[in-house]
Amino acid sequence: MITNRNILTLDEFTIQQLRGLPAATGELSTLLRDIGLAAKRVNVEVNKAGLVDILGDYGSVNVQGEDVKKLDIFANNQFMGVLKHGISCAGISSEELDEFVVFDDEVSNQSKYVVQFDPLDGSGNIDVNISIGTIFSVYRRVSTLGKPCTKEDFLQPGNAQVAAGYVIYGSSTMLVYATRRGVNGFTLDPSIGEFSLSHPNIQCPASGKTYSVNHGHFFRYEKGVQQYINACQKKDTTDGGPYTQRYIGSMVADVHRNLLKGGIFMYPGTTDKPNGKLRLLYECNPFAFIVEMAGGRATNGKQRIMDIQPTDLHQRTPMFIGSKDMMDELDTYLNNQ
Ligand code: P6P
């Protein structure tokens, strides 16, 4: 395989971005490269998960009450490790950990950022070889530099995010991240072991023909959601249809597809779980940041996801995210109730 020297690696890209910001310290670029390193290490294990005894339940149950797969723990430790030993992060919170982790050493306490992540989202799909992913969110600390980070650093609304991204371990491995300067996608090139810029300046199409939702919960959704789903099924060529239903039970894969091709992903609340299943801080906020930076929208059905003031590290929220025009149409059903 001939490596095209004209394709920037993640490291080259972040450094080039840095050159365009003379006042920048480089901490964010370093942090993103650290995340890229951890992603490469996790990718190796994900790719051979079927071959080694890393499958199967880890025997414990996480704060979500879900069986923890060994890869979850491995991924959690990889991301926490590179961030703890880097120079840009004062602490982390993770889906796999009940509480946030303060790194509390001299260098980390001086670091400007904290990171929240879901180390391996969709891990229930590991054993059946369906794409899974890592989701991360970066905030500037509100606590005093030089001292340990505090819980307030992690309970900021999503509109305070500095950067957010995800890794999708699929037919190829991609790292997509957004800053306020745009959304860019990098595909892991095995020939050089580097993430290389493959999807510059990602824009979410204003509309699409894919709707993603778990139909199994249909009769537990609110009426407006049911009416929108029914409308999606009735569309024909005269009104932008027919639509296709695509839902593989791995949020990273479903939202990634809709981000690139256009579409809407919904995980609504239900009569028995009004806040739905997805976590605000390390699943919904990062994707909301990414999709909005690409021109799409993300709400909880009533308000912008990124305007929600968090009160708990692991709080859930209903999630509607995707192409702007499709989200606007959904609102006409939700607001008519
Ligand atoms: P359900 C995976 O467990 C996950 O958190 C998301 O990645 C995915 O979109 C959702 O749950 C699937 O949940 O209830 O439809 O199986």
Q: Is the dihedral of CA 9, 12, 15, 16 positive or negative?
A: negative
Token couple for 86: 């880097």
Q: Is the CB of 133 under 6 A from ligand 1?
A: no
The CATH number covering residue 320 comes to 3.40.190.80
Residues 274 and 177 in one domain: no
Residues 208, 195: Cα–Cα separation, whole Å: 28
Q: Is the CB of 50 under 6 A from ligand 1?
A: no
Residues 165 and 43 in one domain: yes
Q: Would you say residue 1 lies in a domain?
A: no
Residues 215, 220: Cα–Cα separation, whole Å: 10
Q: Would you say residue 5 lies in a domain?
A: no
Sequence letter at residue 276:
G
pLDDT band at 203; cut points 50, 70, 90 = very high
Residues 192, 93: Cα–Cα separation, whole Å: 31
Ligand 1: residue whose CA is nearest its atom 13: 249
Residues 16 and 162 in one domain: yes
Residue with tokens 């080259």: 12
State the closest ligand 1 atom to the C-alpha of 278, by its place in the atom list counted from 1: 5
Question: Which SS3 state, helix, strand or coil, does residue 335 take?
Answer: coil
pTM (predicted TM-score): 0.94
Expressed as residue numbers, the domain containing 287 is 210-334
Pocket test of ligand 1: the residue of 215, 267, 272, 280 to mutate, having most ligand atoms within 8 Å of its CB, is: 267
Please say whether the beta carbons of 166 and 293 come within 8 A.
Answer: no
Q: pLDDT by residue (tens digit) across 119-154? A: 999 877 887 889 999 999 999 999 999 999 999 999
Residue 243: predicted pLDDT = 96
Q: Is the CB of 251 under 6 A from ligand 1?
A: yes
Ligand 1: residue whose CA is nearest its atom 5: 122
pLDDT at 55 exceeding the cut of 70: no
What's the average model confidence in pLDDT over 24-52? 87
- Find the 166 Cα to ligand 1 centroid distance in Å: 16
Q: pLDDT by residue (tens digit) across 279-291? A: 999 999 999 999 9
Q: CB within 8 A of 144, min separation 6: which ones?
A: none
Residues 68 and 135 in one domain: yes
Ligand 1: residue whose CA is nearest its atom 2: 122
State the closest ligand 1 atom to the C-alpha of 214, by its place in the atom list counted from 1: 15
Q: pLDDT by residue (tens digit) across 148-202? A: 999 999 999 999 999 999 999 999 999 999 999 999 999 999 999 999 999 999 9
Burial class for 280, CB neighbours closer than 10 Å (0-12, 13-18, 19+): buried
Closest to 71 measured CA to CA, from 96, 46, 48: 46
